[in-house]
Amino acid sequence: MNIVNILEEIEKVDGEIYERINPRRAAMKDFFNMGKKISLAALPLAMGSMFQKAYGQTTPAAVTDVLNFALALEYLEYHFYNHALVAAPNLAIPAGAPKTAITTIRDHELAHVNLLKGALGSAARAEITYAMTDFTAGGTFPLVYDDYVTFLKVALGFEDTGVRAYKGQAPALKGNAVLTTALQIHSVEARHASHIRQMLAANGATGLKPWISLGPGGIANDTGVSAVDAVYVRENTDVQAGITITGIANGVTKAAAVESFDEFLTKTEVVAIANLFLRTGFKL
């Protein structure tokens, strides 16, 4: 294994790698010496530890704030699905593919929680427990754990919120190594949302596509659930980079223009949505 070659490959992805590490020449010297002493199998773990320290020491407080914000959302999503699977006797999730899908999504959310906690270390926010949550949103969704379709509609709200939340925080992570990880989580949340939409369509939801589209009358919310309007603000825009998409070619409909681009939610907007599902005294 050629350590220099590995560093060169990393430089192709992160051109600032040497700026991050070079000031710690002693640490790099120790690292190369260490590479001669440890086994080949242990070397990847040692490299991970070294780079975690190199990046971690240059991570601004704003990045920590973003990661803790993401962690709070992942806690909410995990508890939402986990309770449905293990402690909601009145919720009849169909056996087979539907239950497998919900279980898989639950497990993904737990993996996200553990990854973010690991990245944050001692800076990780306090755990959000199920006892702190209220997935009826103060009575807005009283049947969330009694009616399967209601459960899926709330699940879709969570997933679409997560997708747009990660997108909104990406600029704050620009230039930081954790942006890649955040984008990896973002794409998985998008797949969750698409799958939940298909599950809803299979249970009678009409006109719902695997992606966000225009709602009836051209509104941004295409779910038919007005209580989640806040999740879909600005999703009916057909203007991107100052260009009206419907005006650049004949036959491009407003719906097609809207579906072609996804919008973001600000942190303030996401916090307002998340707080609906937290009990008084536990707001973000």
Distance CA 15, CA 175 (A): 10
Please identify which residue in the block is written with the tokens 């009826």: 136
**DSSP H or E segment with residue 239:** strand 239-240
Of 54-58, 60-64, 157-161, 190-194, minimum mean pLDDT range: 54-58
In 181-215, which positions are buried (b, 16+ CB within 10 angstroms) versus exposed (e)?
A: bbeebbebbbebbbbbbebbeeeebeebeeebbbb
Structure token pair of residue 77 = 């999503």
Q: Where are the domains of the chain?
A: 3-56, 61-275
Q: Is the dihedral of CA 258, 261, 265, 270 positive or negative?
A: positive
Give per-residue burial for 57-72: e unless 16+ CB within 10 Å, then b.
eebeeebbebbbbbbb
Alpha carbon 81 to its chain centroid, in Å, reads 15
The yes-or-no verdict on residue 32 having pLDDT over 60 is no
Q: What's the pLDDT tens digit per position in 250-273?
A: 788 999 999 999 999 999 999 999
- Determine the Cα–Cα distance for residues 203 and 198; give it in Å rounded to an integer: 9
Lowest mean pLDDT among 26-30, 67-71, 197-201: 26-30
DSSP code of 246? G
What is the predicted pLDDT for the residue at 35?
A: 47
The residue to which tokens 């996401």 are assigned: 270
CA distance 103 to 8: 40
For residue 132, the 8-state DSSP code is: G
Distance CA 140, CA 161 (A): 17
